[in-house]
Amino acid sequence: MLSYSRRFLAAAALAVLTLPVAACTSDKPAPSASGAPAGAPAGSAAPADKGTGEQSKFFVQADYDAQMAMRKAQPTGPSDKPWEQTIDPQLVDTAEYKKAGPYHLCFSNAAVDNPWRQVGWKTMQAEVALHKEITKFTALDAEGKDDKQISDIAELTGKGCDALIVSPNTTATLTPAVSGACPKVPVIVFDRGVQTDCPVTFIKPIGGYAFGAAAAEFLVDKVPAGGKILALRILPGVDVLETRWSAAKVAFDKSDLQVVGVEFTDGDAAKTKSVVSDYIQRYGKIDGVWMDAGATAVAAVEAFEDAGQPVPPINGEDQQDFLKKWSDAKLTAIAPTYPTYQWRTPVIAALKVLKGEQVPKVWNLPQPAITQENLATYLKPGMPPLHYALCGCEDLPGYPEKWGGTS
């Protein structure tokens, strides 16, 4: 699962950092006056009979195109360290920040309020422990509260930090706080973004469009023409989730499939199971399930099992419970990912900046998908159900015990 409450996943290019529609925010998009995607040519309204509704105001054609291109691009960097890889990097000079160690790194964290963030936070701490030149690491948890994170950032800028890592809780509200910190300390933003280009680097996987497209294209390929698709979403107005659905809509609108429902589940397993059960009763058969986040995918699967029906093609994520269910039940499935290994990258980036080494202005990390062909690679025996397979933590000290696993 990602940090689904407002994680930033907009496209590459510096514009990503500055455009409100491509920034992570909890604000709901304004209602669209037509079915045309925002930024799309006039008269490009989506077909009304596909069941996908109007395109999101978060949709930006240029960002969508960039992410589709990055899905096919070959990243540069160590082949065995995807958290150090980058796609289409535009390097920036950091000589002005060069200083001798040892270093005091600081981190303003949006929250550790879900399993994805908990796995990531453990991974970041283990990465810090690898670097002897980091003699102090100060982290403050905003507990999912904008006002607390604004205060946290102000506090950290007064603590003598050599570099400040920020994972913003929301975009627009945190932008002034990040902008205020930039003149005082080199800032590295990751996971979620801000509407300013003052951070030295912004680190993220490819983005929400790539996730949504991978899942939707899988269903278009696996579900027969005319098949009924149920789309399950978590929340409206959250950019990473909006862009995932935007990309799925593009794929479904071009297909012969019919989206019979687009429902919000709040990321709740019981509600997910109830919604799926209702649609099975209403339509008799659902031919495919698309999800903008995979944390409740097992609940969706169980709804079909409880109804005595075969589980149709479905997408989840890299949580162990879904991967195990997929393997055991021989599902037809795919798991697009938002890799937790990205929590290692800001620490590496901060050290590069403090040593005066060039870094990408937008650090686009690879965003692989788990398929039937590589599923066995990501099944991790002994790891807890809510562990994320793409943690990139297997080589870190304390694995697997520090991540709740057993050897």
- pLDDT tens for 271-328 read 999 999 999 999 999 999 999 999 899 999 999 999 999 999 999 999 999 999 999 9
Say whether both 92 and 192 belong to one domain. Answer: yes
Neighbours of 355 (CB within 10 A): 15
Provide the domain limits for residue 355: 85-206+339-367+392-403
Asked whether residue 60 is assigned to any structural domain, the reply reads yes
Please determine, for residue 107, whether its predicted confidence score (pLDDT) is greater than 80: yes
DSSP 220-283: HHHSPTT-EEEEEES-SS-HHHHHHHHHHHHHHHTSS-EEEEEEE-TT-HHHHHHHHHHHHHHH
Task: Calculate ∠ Cα 235-125-151, nearest 5°.
Answer: 60
Query: What is the structure's pLDDT at 170?
Result: 86
Total domains in the fold of the chain: 2
Say whether both 214 and 317 belong to one domain. Answer: yes
Say whether both 156 and 142 belong to one domain. Answer: yes
Q: What tens digit of pLDDT does each residue of 7-26 get?
A: 333 333 333 333 322 233 33
Query: What is the structure's pLDDT at 302?
Result: 98
Cα-based torsion angle of the residue sequence 389, 401, 78, 214 in order, rounded to the nearest 10 degrees: 10
Asked whether residue 377 is assigned to any structural domain, the reply reads no
Query: What is the structure's pLDDT at 382?
Result: 95
Please determine, for residue 377, whether its predicted confidence score (pLDDT) is greater than 90: yes
Say whether both 343 and 361 belong to one domain. Answer: yes
Q: What tens digit of pLDDT does each residue of 60-91 get?
A: 999 999 999 999 999 999 999 999 999 999 99
Say whether both 213 and 171 belong to one domain. Answer: no
Query: What is the structure's pLDDT at 49?
Result: 61
Say whether both 229 and 192 belong to one domain. Answer: no
Please determine, for residue 335, whether its predicted confidence score (pLDDT) is greater than 80: yes
Asked whether residue 8 is assigned to any structural domain, the reply reads no
Asked whether residue 378 is assigned to any structural domain, the reply reads no
Neighbours of 182 (CB within 10 A): 17
Say whether both 258 and 140 belong to one domain. Answer: no
* Per-residue pLDDT band at 339 (split at 50, 70, 90): very high
Asked whether residue 319 is assigned to any structural domain, the reply reads yes
Say whether both 91 and 235 belong to one domain. Answer: no
User: pTM here?
Assistant: 0.83
Please determine, for residue 368, whether its predicted confidence score (pLDDT) is greater than 80: yes
Say whether both 200 and 349 belong to one domain. Answer: yes
Say whether both 118 and 156 belong to one domain. Answer: yes
Q: Which of 35-49, 147-161, 231-245, 383-397 has the lowest mean pLDDT?
A: 35-49
- β-strand 359-360 against 91-92: which pairing, if any? antiparallel
Domain of residue 120, CATH code: 3.40.50.2300
Tokens of 206: 């490819």
In this prediction, what percent of the chain has a pLDDT beyond 70? 88
Say whether both 284 and 215 belong to one domain. Answer: yes
Asked whether residue 159 is assigned to any structural domain, the reply reads yes
* Per-residue pLDDT band at 45 (split at 50, 70, 90): very low
Query: What is the structure's pLDDT at 17?
Result: 37
Say whether both 153 and 298 belong to one domain. Answer: no
